[in-house]
Amino acid sequence: MIEINFSHDYFKLREQRFTTIRSKHYLKNKGLRVGDVVKIKHPSGEFPAKIVGVEVKRICDIPLEILKKDAEFEGFNIKTHQDFVDLLNSFIPYKSNKLTTEKAIIYLERV
């Protein structure tokens, strides 16, 4: 089973349905598609989830409510789209994400 790793215990990981926002080529690069079951790994544990949908949007076109639900964790709140970009860039050395960067919104459901 292919793993999707999370570096924080995001609030969303307590929900039945949640998203992860990744590179627009993430699913293709991992050999995944809608309907596949993956292992969700995070600092406090792991669980299986099914990919139930995906859409590609520029960060600036993703509603702030979705970004907040996707990326908030204890001690970190999203107030603007730029906060989300800054979080993404904190994971990579070359800081290539911008407000106009296209990302895949991957919709998952616990199984």
Is 96 a residue whose pLDDT tops 80?
yes
Question: Model's pTM, two decimal places?
Answer: 0.90
**Residues pairing with 51 in the sheet:** 108
Cβ(67)–Cβ(18) below 8 Å: no
Q: How far is CA 76 from CA 16, 70, 80, in A?
A: 22, 12, 12
CATH number (2.30.130.30, 3.40.50.300, 3.30.590.20, 3.40.50.11030) of 3-110 reads: 2.30.130.30
Using CA atoms, how far apart are residues 4 and 106, in angstroms rounded to an integer? 11
Q: For residue 103, what pLDDT is reported?
A: 94
pLDDT confidence bin for 93, thresholds 50/70/90:
confident
